[in-house]
Structures are given as C-alpha cells and as structure tokens.
Amino acid sequence: MLGAMEGFYGIGRLARMSGLTISALRFYDGAGVLTPAVIDPNTGYRWYSGDQVVIAQLICRLRRTRMPLPDIKQIVASRHMPERVDVLLAAHLERLEQGLADARRQLSDIHSLLNTKESPMTTTLTFTGSDFRTALAAVRFAVSTDPALPALGGVLLDTIAGTVNLVATDRYRLAVAPAPADVEGPACAAAVPAAFLDSIAATEAARVVLTIEGDTVTARAGGLTCTATVIDEVFPDYRRLMPSEDAEGVRIGGRLRHAIVNGPSLTQRRDADGIEFETVVLSTDDRGDIVISDGTEGIAVNREFILEAMDAAGEGQLHLRLDGPITPLIIHSARSTSLLMPVRL
C-alpha cells in the first residue's frame, strides 16, 4: 500500500477541492478526461497531482455550464492552446444563447395563452399517415403504465414551428420524435391518451387530422372519426432536458447492441416498486468508443430500456452520449431522441 503520498491528493480530497463528486471523478477517469497520476496497485486507490487539481476545477466549471462531455474532453486536452479553447467556448456560449432565446419565445407563448384562456381556440394538426405512425412508434415504448401517474399515460403533442413533437416519459426514460405537420391555429401542447393514438395509427390511413379544442381532441383518419379527452394533468417540462442539436455523441451500431444483449450485467431492484431488472455498465475506451464494462466503473443503465430506445430510434445512424454519472444518457437519430436515467450502483 502506498499510503499518503507527499504532493499528491486522494480522490476524496480532490473532490472537496474541485467541487466534483467522487463518482464524477471516477466517471471522468473512465472517460479518459482526468486519469489519476498514480493508482495504488494493491488497493486501486487513486492519487492526483497538484497540476490535476486545476484541471478538476476546470472540469467542474465547464460541467456547470452543461457543456457536453466531448467538448469538455477537447478543452482539457487543448488547455494550453488558447485559440482552440476560445473557439470551443464561443460555440458553447452560442448554444446557451440559443437556448435562452427559445426560453424567451416560450414565455411569450405563455403570455399569449394566458391572455386567451377565457376563449379557447381550436388547433388542427394534419399529418401524413406515415409521419404520424413513425413518430408514435419512436416514443410509444416510453409511455408509463403506472395508474398513479395519469399524465404520463399519454403522449404529449407539442407544436413547434410547423412541426409537432410527440413526447412520452415514464420518469425513468423520455422519448421525443418530431413529426412534420400542417398546424392551423395557436400553438398548443396537449397530452392525449396513448391508447387513443394507437387506434388512429392502426387505421394505417394516408392522412391523419387531429383537432384540439379545449379539453377535447377529435381524430379523423381514413373512415374513422373519434374523440377523446385531453389528459387534465401537468406533463413534465421535457424541453429543459433536451440536448443541443449539435451535440451528437459517439456513433453506435450493431456491435454495441450485441454487447448489451450478451455482455455482463447486474441484477438490481427498483426502490419505487420493487421490480427487478438487469443493468449494463457503459464506459468509453481509449479510442473514445462506448463499450460494456465488466465492473462498476462507468454509467449503469437499465438493459431493457436502452435496447428499446435503440430499436425505437429506427434504421440509420445512431449516436449515444454519456455526460456523467447522474446525467441522462442520450440516444439520438434522425427519427427521435431518447433520454435514459442512469442507475445508481
């Protein structure tokens, strides 16, 4: 055992000095961002040099700005190249400003909604049947079946500039799929029962029209006309969780899926309902590729959930982003974006 080392700091002390948690330091070690200067060969205990204290403090501050892991990694690697760092920081600041601009637009919409709440208006959404079915299939796996959470038993229809986002979540995962649509009337966000939308998709109609007026939604698809009541519960604010559009992550494919299915896993029990499930631990290798770990160093995720998210994303390029031990994992494709909460080991 090496014992206390002069001029070096243990992981606990570095956590206190930097503002990062011990689990975050372990994560950044596994991700190749901040590797300990020395690891005790007998105990595996991590020791960090004095120079690494500043790097850990830098990572902590970048993380607080919600900078994606790949950019943090680049800044740490380029910290002695001011021009390169300035480019990365400017790009991140632009993303943050775009997010602020979007928030301002949302607040403006809120004022408009409050001013017209006494006389609710009608919003009509017109989709091609294939666009509607594709978007619904991309989020359907994330709909909650818990009767104690009625708001999550539906799919949110959220209009954004000629597009309708279909959104579903069961608290442990969230899926968002944009569907092109003609939107007539004011912007709206309405949670509609999932079973109602399933019945519309089952018609395989070439055109789907949804009309939302007050607390009623009317669907016309092929020869079917039916109505349902909008779910009168507050749907979670999903937009604040969404990643920036240019933060794709690491490209993944069949090899990782095969590893998730056949690789090592851990059995855990969920505190909320006592359900047992299998988890896999994800980490990055020296090349930056995402791999399955056979230990506990990395980010654990429900195996069934990540497989469902990968399947729902459809064919084509998939990207997976890992940003930290308590930050949602993000699976992104041209079809949809899914967020999965990591599991505490």
**Hey, which bits of 80-230 come out as E strands?**
122-128, 154-160, 163-169, 173-180, 182-184, 189-193, 207-213, 216-221, 224-229
Domains identified in the chain, total number: 3
Contact predicate 166/177, CB 8 Å: yes
**Hey, which bits of 105-215 come out as E strands?**
122-128, 154-160, 163-169, 173-180, 182-184, 189-193, 207-213
147 domain residue, yes or no? yes
* Average pLDDT of the segment spanning 129-133: 96
259 domain residue, yes or no? yes
Q: Which pLDDT belongs to residue 1?
A: 45
295-321: burial string, b at 16+ Cβ within 10 Å, e else: eeebbbbbbebbebbbebbeeeebbbb
Are residue 222 and residue 131 in the same domain, yes or no? yes
Contact predicate 63/34, CB 8 Å: no
111 domain residue, yes or no? no
85 domain residue, yes or no? no
107 domain residue, yes or no? no
Note the pLDDT tens digit of each residue in 58-103: 999 998 888 888 889 999 999 999 899 999 999 889 888 887 877 7
DSSP state of 343: B
Query: What distance in Å separates the CA atoms of residue 316 and residue 331, rounded to the nearest whole number?
Result: 13
19 domain residue, yes or no? yes
Are residue 207 and residue 144 in the same domain, yes or no? yes
Which is more confidently placed, 54 or 99? 54
Q: Any idea which residue has 């091609």 for tokens?
A: 128
**Residue 306 pLDDT exceeds 50:** yes
**Alpha-carbon Rg for the chain in angstroms:** 23
Are residue 183 and residue 258 in the same domain, yes or no? no
- End of a domain among 168, 199, 229? 229
Are residue 219 and residue 130 in the same domain, yes or no? yes
Entry pTM: 0.69
User: Structural domain of residue 191, as residue ranges?
Assistant: 122-229
Query: What distance in Å separates the CA atoms of residue 311 and residue 139, rounded to the nearest whole number?
Result: 11
108 domain residue, yes or no? no
Own/partner contacts of 326-332, CB < 8 Å, gap of 24 or more, are 326/23, 326/24, 328/174, 328/241, 329/282, 329/299, 329/301, 330/243, 330/249, 331/306, 332/243, 332/248, 332/249
Q: Which pLDDT belongs to residue 118?
A: 54
Note the pLDDT tens digit of each residue in 178-234: 999 999 988 889 999 999 999 999 999 999 999 999 899 999 999 899 999 999 888
Which is more confidently placed, 21 or 165? 165
91 domain residue, yes or no? no
CATH number of 185's domain? 3.10.150.10
Are residue 126 and residue 224 in the same domain, yes or no? yes
